[in-house]
Structure 1
């Protein structure tokens, strides 16, 4: 079998559209953390309080994906996705207005900390932005299934996943450039305006009728039937989906550890620095370069992996990538590397642990009946994001007690645990594929 990266024009255009949606979502998500060093001074807030605002965003972004998923299987999805970007824009606009709007509110005392009126309004803004963020996953995946042929779905999922890493990388770059000429308030006003304009563009595109946004109706015509195979045949849906949820927890343990501690790992364990024509590039800058390599490799790899999932069994692709990532993480923990070999290993890790998303998402889509796709992705992401929110603290504790380098061997256990879950799906005792006719329905 050979790989093909070609797409029909209509699917290519839809792929660009839905990829821009995912990139935009991650741009909003990652925009706030790069502003924290500025906000510490301007708002006279502690790092703990500003970090709590990020937690509010992530909590709302995880919690609401389940109910949004249920809605995505019942109502026209354009009525969810268009307001989502408007709500993200409103959230950041509320944050900007907080010092004025919240000045008259009484301060709150909670767990020995004081939260003044402006801070309370900022938290409200981040909560609203998080609710808008929560819409994209449970709506985006069903839209892909509805507008892309099965033989090309992996390629579009690759575009979708790659775009998320582009959004992650663009946010600190945008802040780093604009903060040189604009106050932080105007940067957030600008991202708010972007949200409103993007929502308007989505409205126009979806109203043109070029793309299918309505959920599929079930046999009783209401979009929420008891389709055969969900409870009567648990190995066709419930058991394999539960297994994938467990694999999510393992994968997120490894990826959260890398995203949180890769820069400090490179800086503290290797401490690489560079001198170029009298310019000294410190170890922190070099560490961030390696971290960027990790993310960019993941973005590029997902385009290739998307095509692989259209050619090979999704389970096989996942098992292979998780196996390689486990070896790479173990190597980081126990082998001393040169700058070049460390670079190569970070590329390999980015391509595997951050590049596997299209195969993972395609597998979930295969298992899930079309009428239940929105809520399935919604519930999975809610459980995964809320349940894994404590991982950075756990990994930080492991790094403090057993050493930063040795703790990366524990991340390898995450990759191996996920591999075991996916491998279990080969067994008919865990996963029995639905007949082709049922899948077509």
Structure 2
């Protein structure tokens, strides 16, 4: 790995992929075809891209039963325990509607309402991702979403990977379709004969899925346009080089464009970690992917001291941040920008990916400066409630009308004043 001494500012080489002109055109064509042709277009694109001809897109109860037979019972138990941890964490995020009463009789409040429907995209291809199912579905269930739809591309044999179906069943998904790619996003956004549209789409995918989510945003909501995975490790001389190297590689194996960075005030640690990364790379099954990631997007930044290291991390605003230093918890208050923060030697990033409970859908590409992990709030909406009293309108009506006229909105002003005038007329008649 490259070792760089920090001077005044650090920049991270990130892969921000907005797609080629050709990819953008392909996605727009697919979306247009699904909007106009519905299921027919889904069949065409499923056969073209997934090389399978399906009689139906719906996953049947029989397929789910068969999935349970294929998945090892111990792994099913692990899925259930992970789901319980994720559910427990997200239940603590739940908000309640509230109302306050002012002295003048006015009631002001906020009404929390879950979204009616959510679509969850689960990637397929070379690997199965049951963890993505749990992380996207469970917060929606906790939020109270009534209809959760899962889509995932079928394998060559026309089925969704067994572990993904088991995770979906354990998370409580009742509606699952064997559709992937941009066509799946279009179906969720606009509906077809088989798949009714949803209000929000979440979940990761390849560049075509990301471009499709960007394209349909506005007609439906989306979670984010996620970039390749990132990890930054803030470590001092107390950290073990072999453990730090292993954690850097845990992200590098995701994608050739994944970013793995070590920030440390210790040149000794920097050199040891660089050597360990090269050593451990040779033993990885996904060696080629990880090696490209480390070569193109990996770096070790050496700072003057721990304070400069912390500030460097804040400039990076990484998706995942591990803090492996002496008295690591004391640094938590100084960290301003990170999607998920892992404190201490035993809090390796995969702990959060699969089991601890916090969501692993995190802001990438420096968006942790202003974004948060996927959470229960993402599946609810908030409505303001205003019950203005007669006394309050009499006290403040003239001020409201004046404000409206200052903005040149005469009808706004009159809408308030007519009520004041009518009340005065009623008072006069009564007297």
TM-score (normalizing by structure 1): 0.22
More strand by percentage: 2
| Greater RCO (CA < 8 Å, at least 6 residues apart) | 1
Structure 2 length normalisation: TM-score? Answer: 0.23
Specify the structure having the higher radius of gyration (Cα).
Answer: 2
Q: In proportion to residue count, which structure has more helix?
A: 1
